[in-house]
A and B are shown apart, each in its own frame.
Chain A
Amino acid sequence: MPHQCVRCNTLYDDGSEVILKGCSCGAKLFFFIKKGKVKEAKELTSEFKLSFDEKKQIEKDVFDLVGSDIDSDNPVVLDIESIRVLQPGKYELDLVHLFKKDPLVFKLQDGKYIIDLVESFQNLRKKK
């Protein structure tokens, strides 16, 4: 299952080391794309021509959403089927996916790279 860098749109294969370390362009946020949806994802990302600043803002917003620090070394992968950030401040949510408790975001750490969002939100609540 490929991952696409939010900033430079480069596609990486599943399990690629880049996803653990961050993209060569320096970004650490990836869209997670299911097999067979690559074309749709490409169309989507080319449809909205975003400026560098807008992409940076999206990255910051998503890191805020999941309660992660953008300066930390842990990349974040956004499941494009559950949540779409079209531009900063414009979100589309797929409720059916969200209710199904499909993992929304995969946080990657030390080669272990699936942490369910439910867990990250619970951690977030504990912190408060």
Chain B
Amino acid sequence: MYQLMKKFVTKVFRDIFSRKKHVKLGLYGPPNAGKTTLANRICKDWLGEEMGSVSNIAHETREIQIKEEINIKSNGKELTFNLVDTPGIATRIDYEDFMKSGMDEKEAKQRAKEATKGVIDSIKWLDEMDTVVVVLDGTKDPYSQVNITIIGNLQARNIPVLIVANKVDLRKSNTKKVQAAFPQYEVIGISAKYGKNIDEFYEGLFALVG
């Protein structure tokens, strides 16, 4: 019995002290801004594998996805974090929008339901994050209710934020406009799809966390 107790106590202590604390880095933003594309870019760059599937139809990511222990290096510095890709946050989810992209009604309604649950999950997970990268679509108007609500809530929770204006490869993208909308934050214009300015993004990450 004594041996058993001793074993148990040793195990508990080992578990407590061996658990490494890793920074949880969350990717947040509206649907179709490129959160998963960026997650895939980070994973491909540092792990050599992709994280999740991407689609032109909104709400492709409907469940929280986690990649653990991503180790990135920049200018001789090192950073290890757990990457959390979240479902896009929206105020209105309508299955008819998905049907316009060629989905059948049943599938579209199922997607709408899962997307709604995804939004709730994303919000519930916010408190678990140590740092958040807000991924915005640089071709769209940055002054949306979703963007302002996400960033305002991160600020209220004192979570460090880096804003990424994605899709600089598209002519319509306007990083300056995003920067003007959120002047208190650093905004980095990138193309997650083609890797443009991605080094600048990693440097920004180091500046934020490191």
A57 to chain B, nearest CB (A): 8
**B91 contacts A92, CB within 8 Å?**
yes
Distance of A91 from chain B, by nearest CB (Å): 4
Q: Which of A57, A65, A89, A98 contacts B94 (CB 8 A)?
A: A89
Q: Which of A61, A64, A92, A98 contacts B120 (CB 8 A)?
A: A98
**Contact string against A for B residues 79-100, beta-carbon threshold 8 Å, 1 for contact and 0 otherwise:** 0000000000111111110000
* Residue total for B at the interface (Cβ-Cβ under 8 A): 27
Residues of A within 8 A of B90 (CB): 93
Q: How many A residues touch the partner, as a band?
A: 20 to 34
The count of A-to-B residue pairs whose CB atoms sit within 8 angstroms is 66
Write out the residue numbers on chain B whose beta carbons fall within 8 Å of the beta carbon of A89: 94-96, 105, 108-109, 112-113
A52 close to B (CB within 8 Å): no
Distance in Å: Cβ of B10 to nearest Cβ of chain A? 26
Q: Do B92 and A95 touch across chains, with their CB atoms under 8 A apart?
A: no
Q: Is B146 an interface residue (CB 8 A)?
A: yes
Report the minimum CB–CB distance from A68 to chain B (whole Å).
13
Contact with B along A91-113 (1 / 0, CB 8 A): 11111101100001000000000
With the chains together, A92 CA to B145 CA distance in Å? 13
Once the chains are docked, how many angstroms separate the CA of A83 from the CA of B120? 10
Question: B residues 88-136 with Cβ under 8 Å of A?
Answer: 89-96, 105, 108-109, 112-113, 115-117, 119-121, 123-124, 126
Known: A95-B89, A121-B124. A90 touches B119 (CB 8 A): no
Does residue A8 face the partner (Cβ distance < 8 Å to B)? Answer: no
> A80 → chain B, closest Cβ, in Å?
14
A93 in contact with B116 given A99-B123, A118-B124, A121-B124 (CB within 8 Å):
yes
Mind listing 25 A-B residue pairs with CB under 8 Å? A61-B109, A64-B117, A65-B113, A65-B120, A83-B120, A89-B94, A89-B95, A89-B112, A90-B96, A90-B112, A91-B93, A92-B93, A93-B90, A93-B91, A93-B116, A95-B91, A95-B145, A95-B146, A95-B150, A96-B149, A98-B120, A99-B123, A99-B149, A117-B120, A118-B124
